[in-house]
Amino acid sequence: MSDGCDEAISGLKKLLSQKKELAAEAAEKVRKLTKELSAAADKKSSDAAARIHSGFLHFKKEHYEKYPDLHGELAKGQSPKFMVFACSDSRVCPSHVLNLQPGEAFMVRNIANMVPPYDKNKYSGAGAAIEYAVLHLKVENILVLGHSACGGIKGLMSIPDDGATHSDFIEDWVSICKAAKAKVQVECHSGDFAEKCSLLEKESVNVSLGNLLTYPFVREGLLKKTLSLKGGHYDFIKGSLELWNLDFSLYPVVSA
């Protein structure tokens, strides 16, 4: 629609420059074009609103009204057992993939399901979510869930060695797991790009799990055995899920 609009306007400008006496005709064409564009925009907006509304009505009928006890309890508060870091990718909604019901999981979704290290200034949003989940909601498990064909991981793998970036936010964000990329490049130096990306999808999960240890309240939860960390990888091409634990060998600090 934008290309067509630009082409039409360009044509009108050319017409006016050649024949100034056609200004009235050109003005009428502009009015007609504006009306058509406005109608198209209104239809798109209407279609989007209709989809959102119908989706809610389906949820209300098939879930909210069928499980009044559940939603009655949720109205009083939440006590999820899981915190899930998942990718923003539209194909990997953890509620669907893991059949998580409302109230079961406190979720954070971002590009490439990454967990940044503890940093009050740079990553306060992620830090606030982790702090709230661990200290206030008392979640018992934190899952970092990677997935196949991840665009964020491909972006990380594509960053040149000189670190040159071409985006305002994306490359800086995925560089959180640049240590994972370095490991994959060493261990799979002869592999092709697709193979490296596949390995990086899982290795970046491990780096994110390690980053969780930089949060003092996460370490405390692990030491007290009130919290566990898990890594996962969902392959939506094969329809499979891998789940693993990492042994961080944490021990209580013993003062002399």
Are 167 and 158 a contacting pair, CB within 8 Å?
no
* Segment holding 128, helix H or strand E: helix 124-131
What's the alpha-carbon Rg for the chain, to the nearest Å? 25
Phi, psi of 64 (to 5 degrees): -60, -45
228-235 vs 240-244, strand pairing mode: antiparallel
Helix, strand and coil content of the chain, in percent to the nearest 5, comes to: 55, 10, 30
Are 75 and 172 a contacting pair, CB within 8 Å?
no
* Segment holding 195, helix H or strand E: helix 193-212
**CA–CA distance, 130 with 204 (Å, rounded to integer):** 18
Q: Which residues are catalytic?
A: 87, 89, 91, 147, 150
Spatial strand order in the sheet of 141-147:
105-110, 82-87, 141-147, 228-235, 240-244
